[in-house]
A = this chain, B = another copy of it.
Amino acid sequence: MTDRLTGPVLVVGTGLLGTSVALACRRAGIETLLADVSAEHLRTASGLGAGRPLRDDDAPQVVVVAVPPDHLADAVAAALLTTNAVVTDVGSIKSQPLAAVAGEVSPGELTRYVGSHPMAGSERSGPLAASEALFDGRPWAVTPHEGSQADAVALVEELARVCGGLPLRLAPDEHDRAVARVSHLPQLVSALVAARLADAPADHLALSGQGVRDVTRIAASDPGLWRQIVAGNADAVLAMLGELRGELDALMAAVGSGSGEAIERVLERGVAGTQAIPGKHGGAPTPTASVFVTVPDHPGNLARLFTDAGESGVNIEDVRIDHDPGRETGLMELLVDEALADRLLAALESKGWVAHR
């Protein structure tokens, strides 16, 4: 075995992720083979240039399994049993599928399996949503088990890089604890907060601001998929929910007893947490400031705004549109380096924009 990715790469499951992996490999000039239980998905992915359907005499170097969580372990085991390839997958959880695969194949065959998890996706699904650029610059967890061959691990990391991702090696259980914390807990809590809005009176909901919209945005995700992810990572998810519940009880006690100090300690821990998230480009977060601009809501105005902002020489770090609920305008929030906010504000006001910090 070599750790040079030469292909062919077989992609099993030509949905969003699988087809994107295949397109990214094709971008790098690597031959790709496709398999899917859905003949229609297979035709579509192939028609998009993601590769040709698998034939019996093909001998892939790497198999990438990209099927829904509930079918993942069976598909990985089948790939190990029917090929001599290194096998990986792109599923959101790693320990449970590994244990299931280990129950279906021999220890020797298991050495060719190295799980992985690219941190990329879309609210859409299916091959038509795929993109060769989906993984560009994204973290891509590579999760070898204790018996994984070193060459197989290197090959999967090479695949991640070829697809544009940034490989990050983690043990499977470590990965699952990490995503329970940074992905599954936020997902579930977002759903719990959003559920509180489902039956709320309209004049209560009319007071909704950007905060509740931010907190509940991901609660709109597909319940059928997330049910599989959460159930498949039950232990790590329960540990995080348990931690949250302990803190919730402490917060309720603080609010109930009117202890402002205890409430403030909870809030300060939250501030510390937001500062712990890696900043732009992986570095430490840099202090940013917001400049708000009123933008009449029709095509062309955003272009004019960004042209004027660009001429100020100030780099826009982030943007969001905070829509006025009652009018055909949006309030644009431009996040820039704190030290440059006044310069941007002055530049925009000089061009006639109604802006404020």
Residues on A facing B (Cβ under 8 Å): 119, 122-124, 128-131, 133-134, 136-139, 141, 166, 168, 170, 174-175, 177-179, 181-183, 185-209, 211-221, 223-224, 226-228, 230-231, 234, 237-238, 240-245, 247-249, 251-252, 255-256, 258, 260, 263-264, 266-278, 280-282, 289-290, 292, 294, 297-303, 305-307, 309-310, 312-321, 323-329, 331, 354, 356-357
A204 shortest CB reach to chain B, Å: 4
The residue that A294 contacts in the complex, of B133, B247, B300, B328, with Cβ under 8 A, is: B133
State whether B191 touches A270 (Cβ < 8 A). yes
Chain B's closest residue to A334 (CB) is: B302
Q: Are B251 and A241 closer than 8 Å at their CB atoms?
A: yes
Decide if B271 touches A223 in the complex (CB within 8 Å): yes
Chain B residue contacts of A170, Cβ below 8 A:
203
Q: Are B316 and A318 neighbours in the complex by a CB distance under 8 Å?
A: no
Kindly list chain B residues whose C-beta atoms are within 8 Å of the C-beta of A192: 189, 244, 247-248, 251, 266, 270
How close is A304's CB to chain B, nearest CB, in angstroms?
Answer: 8
Instruction: Judge whether A212 and B231 touch: CB under 8 Å.
Output: no
In the complex, residue of chain B having the shortest beta-carbon distance to the beta carbon of A133: B354
Q: Which residue of B lies closest to A213 (CB)?
A: B277
Shortest beta-carbon distance from A293 to chain B in Å: 9
Residue of B207, B241, B292, B297 near A119 (CB, 8 A) is B207
Q: Is the CB of B277 within 8 A of A212?
A: yes
Judge whether B136 and A324 touch: CB under 8 Å.
Answer: yes
Q: Is the CB of B211 within 8 A of A218?
A: yes
Contact of B203 with A178 in the complex, beta carbons under 8 Å: yes
Q: How far is the CB of A41 from chain B (nearest CB, A)?
A: 16
